[in-house]
Amino acid sequence: MGTSTTTPAVRYLDTASAYDLWSAVYDTDNNFLQALDTLEMQSLLPQLFSNLTSTLPKPWKVVDLGCGTGRNTTHLLSIPEVKEIIALDLSSKMLDVARKRIASASGDTPKVTFQVYDLMASSNPSPPPQDADAIISTLVLEHVPLKEYFAAAKGMLKPGGLLLLTNMHSAMGQISQAGFVDPVTGEKIKAGRSYAHTLGEVVEEARVWGFEVAVRFEERGVTEENWARFGERARKWVGVDVWFGGVLRLVGDGGKKGEAA
């Protein structure tokens, strides 16, 4: 007799509900794309602030757009020129984890404000921030159309402001989407609708809204040589581009074409 295997049930949730549920295990479920993104941020963040130094005066206000559990927010705390941090996320449960993480990292942090924010909503509990010097936004763009994303980012930044952006590569996005296995039920949870934006589409739409490339976008894939660095779950992605990231600068008004589209 042959052995049979049971395929886990798949449950699709809206993005906020999925990330609320995911928050309990988000930092411990061995997400290889998050591990790769964390590695790449070690070089992207210094490049962001190096460019910001030559663009806008200190001190700086920085928005963490889609902050999740505060993985990148904690790094902003160590930069003395950053005097105000606004951590935004669609998921209130993710923000709860982020608050605890920030408190554990540095105790009292009056310069960090946490806010539930849905850039696809017509209204939010609190208005989005404005006049930010920089935005960091990692692994977020998969969940939203380009027009809405760049309209929101532009509205938050002052002229000359910078947007550090990373995302799942379209080569991966065409065959996968953000999700996790619920440790309680064993179900595969998929997070809302997924958009497999190509890097070319991202840069083109950014220019419509008045952005230009400030730090060249890089693409990363999983190889036979590096998969083990990111954990066993990366192994099946050998030969596939899975990530891209770079920095954009808001230099013009833009937006007219996007608003008319």
We report the CATH number of the domain holding residue 98 as 3.40.50.150
Separation between Cα atoms, residue 56 and residue 159, nearest integer Å: 9
Q: Beta strands of the chain (E only): which ranges? A: 10-13, 60-65, 82-89, 112-116, 132-138, 157-168, 179-181, 188-191, 211-221, 241-250
CB atoms closer than 10 angstroms to residue 207? 17
Q: What are 11-34's pLDDT values in tens digits?
A: 888 899 989 888 888 998 889 999
Residue 5 lies in a domain: no
pTM of this structure: 0.91
Ranges of the chain with pLDDT below 70: 1-8, 106-110, 254-261
SS3 150: helix
Residue 79 lies in a domain: yes
Output the six-digit token pair for 68. Answer: 């999740």
Question: Would you call 104 exposed, middle or buried from its count of C-beta atoms within 10 A (0-12, 13-18, 19+)?
Answer: exposed
Determine the pLDDT at residue 224: 97
Determine the pLDDT at residue 108: 56
Determine the pLDDT at residue 4: 46
Determine the pLDDT at residue 257: 45
The boundaries of the domain holding residue 83 are: 10-252
Determine the pLDDT at residue 1: 44
Determine the pLDDT at residue 11: 85
Tell me how many domains the chain contains: 1
